[in-house]
Every structure is written in structure tokens, then in C-alpha cells.
Amino acid sequence: MKNKIVFSTTNAGKIAEAAQILGVEIVPSGLEIPEIQSLDSQKVALQKALDYYKELNTALLVEDVSLVFKALNGLPGPYINDFSKVLGNSGLIRLLKNATDRTATAITTLVYCDQAGDTHVFQGIINGSISAQERGTNGFGWDPIFIPEGHDKTFAEMDNVEKNSLSMRAIALHKFKSWLDK
């Protein structure tokens, strides 16, 4: 197992979650590289990994997150970051104001680009729904509006231990950790 991993994010919440699950030091890449535009989250993550590898010439981990609203035929999908920046959580909720179906699927696609430049994909998927209002103060991003299936709390109402036991990022990170530990 590696002692530290370069991760293409500056999001402190993502870094903390990865460090807790992987048990290693997570080092932010310090770069922001524009992403390709695609509705295919895996395609976005793979290209992002190759672009970061080309710039840094080192093994690294990249992530792409999608939040798929069934009522919106898959949007915002991999564009969730842009939707969140423009609309905020309250705006995301308003998108579903007249929807009878508030179900959503959260997807994290991790790509590890090893020292040789070979890519390895790990995906975590969790179904849930979008709450009618923001709830909770923990977490980051859209955690206050996503309720995982089988639960009555948003991610933001959960402590880190509970959230990290079931989030889509946790699922993908555990798959990555199992692969690394081989």
C-alpha cells in the first residue's frame, strides 16, 4: 500500500473522506485542468486522469461525480458541479418543485492512473431521493439535499462515520483500497 496518493481535488471534504477510508496521506494535485464535456462520467474521469498524468507525470487519483435526477431525464448528471455553482442546493430543489418523482442516483467514478500511465476505474453508485428542503450541516456540496435509499436522513444530517459507511464515494474508495491492497 502506498503512503500517500496525489488526488486531483482541492475539496477538503473529499480529501478528508479519502484519507479516512484509504488510511494514507492524500496530497492535492495543486492543479485545475478543464474537463471534457460528456454525459458519460466514466469518459470524463478517464480523460481527466490522462490529462493530469500528462501534466504531473506521477501516479494519481481523479474523481468525477454525477447526480442523476430521474425526473430530469438524467440531468444534472456529470454537470452537477456546474449546476451547484449556479443554482446552489435550493436551486437544485426548485428544479424538482413540480416533480412527482424525486428519485436520484449519485455516482462517483474514480480513476487511478498508475506510474506507467495505465488507468484503473472504480465506481460507487447509490440510489436515493432529493429532499424538499436543505437539511443538516455536515458534509459538503449537495449533502444537505440527498437522502440515501433506506434512510430518512440526508448525508448532511449524518456524522462522517455513518456517511462514509454508505456514500457513493466511500463505495468507490473501498473498491480502490481493495485493489491497492492486493
Closest Cα to residue 104, out of 70, 132, 147? Answer: 70
**List 40, 51, 64, 114, catalytic entry:** 64
CB 116 within 8 A of CB 124: no
The reply to whether 64 belongs to the active site is yes
Closest Cα to residue 181, out of 56, 22, 20? Answer: 22
Residues contacting residue 171 through CB under 8 Å, at least 6 positions apart: 108, 123, 124, 125, 126
Amino acid at 59: A
Please identify every residue annotated as catalytic: 64
